[in-house]
Amino acid sequence: MLFPVPEQDKAAAYAVYRDGMQRVVGQVADWDEAEQRQRFAECFARGTLFWFRRHGQHQALLSLTREPHGLHLHLIVVLAECRRQGVGRQAMAAVHALCRPGQQVTLSCFRHDKAVRAFYAELGYRLREAELHHLQLEWRECWPEHLP
């Protein structure tokens, strides 16, 4: 289940964010701690940060907004101790369950992160747009070619 990140969890949530993002961001740009803290603070202020919890434990951090087309996933970071246990799939299933009929989920991922790209492809995400360092992806519950 997804739960808003409360004020008292802000520091812990930033630590999860930094742990999950520093390596991948560092492959395309220098990690600027002040800039990253500012970005994180803006997400927190907008109320877009959520914990994915299972068995009473925080297992992933997500940033998610509702858009006219459906949902946009800005971020998902699975906690280090929960990786390779299906948590990412379960968190994404929770995101997909929030979509209304006919809506889609959009996100971007780093072009160079082949494991993440494969993960999203397995979940049914398709390329929407390619940029220098990022790929814009989208998911629909039912793609038009699968309709009767």
Q: What is the pLDDT of residues 34-93, one digit of tens each?
A: 998 998 888 888 889 999 999 999 999 999 999 999 999 999 999 999 999 999 999 999
- Tell me the residue length of the chain: 148
Residue 34 CA to residue 49 CA, distance in Å, equals 19
Query: Tokens 């946009």 map to which residue?
Result: 72
Question: What is the H or E stretch that residue 139 is in?
Answer: strand 134-140
Instruction: State the residue range of the domain holding 53.
Output: 2-146
Question: Is pLDDT larger for residue 30 or for residue 2?
Answer: 2
Give the pLDDT of residue 121: 96
- Predicted pLDDT of residue 142: 59
Structure token pair of residue 102 = 């006919």
pLDDT at 146: 47
What is the average pLDDT score of the chain? 90
CATH code (residue 75): 3.40.630.30
Q: What is the pLDDT of residue 102?
A: 87
The torsion angles phi and psi of 79, rounded to 5 degrees, stand at -60, 145
Q: How many whole angstroms separate alpha carbon 98 and alpha carbon 64?
A: 11
21-25, 109-113, 119-123, range with greatest mean pLDDT = 119-123
Better-scored residue on pLDDT, 65 or 145: 65
Largest Cα separation within the chain, whole Å, is: 52
Summarize the confidence of residues 89-117 as an average pLDDT: 93
Q: Give the 3-state secondary structure of residue 90.
A: helix
For the cut 80, the answer to whether the pLDDT of residue 143 exceeds it is no
Mean pLDDT along residues 5-13: 94
Instruction: Provide the pLDDT for residue 15.
Output: 95
Q: Count the domains in the chain.
A: 1
> What token pair was written down for 72?
């946009």
Q: Locate 85 and state its tokens.
A: 């246990």
Percent of residues, the chain, with pLDDT higher than 70: 95
Position with higher pLDDT, 93 vs 30: 93
